[in-house]
Amino acid sequence: MATLTYVYADSMAVLGPLSGAPEPHSYDLCEVHADRLSAPQGWSVLRISAPADEAPLFGA
């Protein structure tokens, strides 16, 4: 799973590890949708990966 956020000022979609806390301006994606994510023309996608042994903090 991953969390998607947008940086409108930089025309960038940021896809990173599952967020540790709910955020109204972010979107949690399943692995299938995270892998298929693309950005609109003129935008870039920044993919940030977490170490494999790092678990999400939400619900901890």
> Does residue 55 lie within any of the structural domains?
no
Residue reference for tokens 């955020």:
23
What is the 8-class DSSP label of residue 21?
S
Output 38 or 58, whichever has higher pLDDT. 38
Tokens of 6: 């947008």
Cα–Cα dist 7/46, whole Å: 10
The total number of structural domains that make up the chain: 1
- Residue type (1 letter), 20: G
pLDDT at 52: 59
* Average of per-residue pLDDT across 6-25: 92
> Does residue 58 lie within any of the structural domains?
no
Give the pLDDT confidence of 40-53 residue by residue, as tens digits.
Answer: 999 999 999 876 55
With pLDDT > 70 as the criterion, what percentage of the chain qualifies?
83
Its domain, for residue 28, covers: 2-47
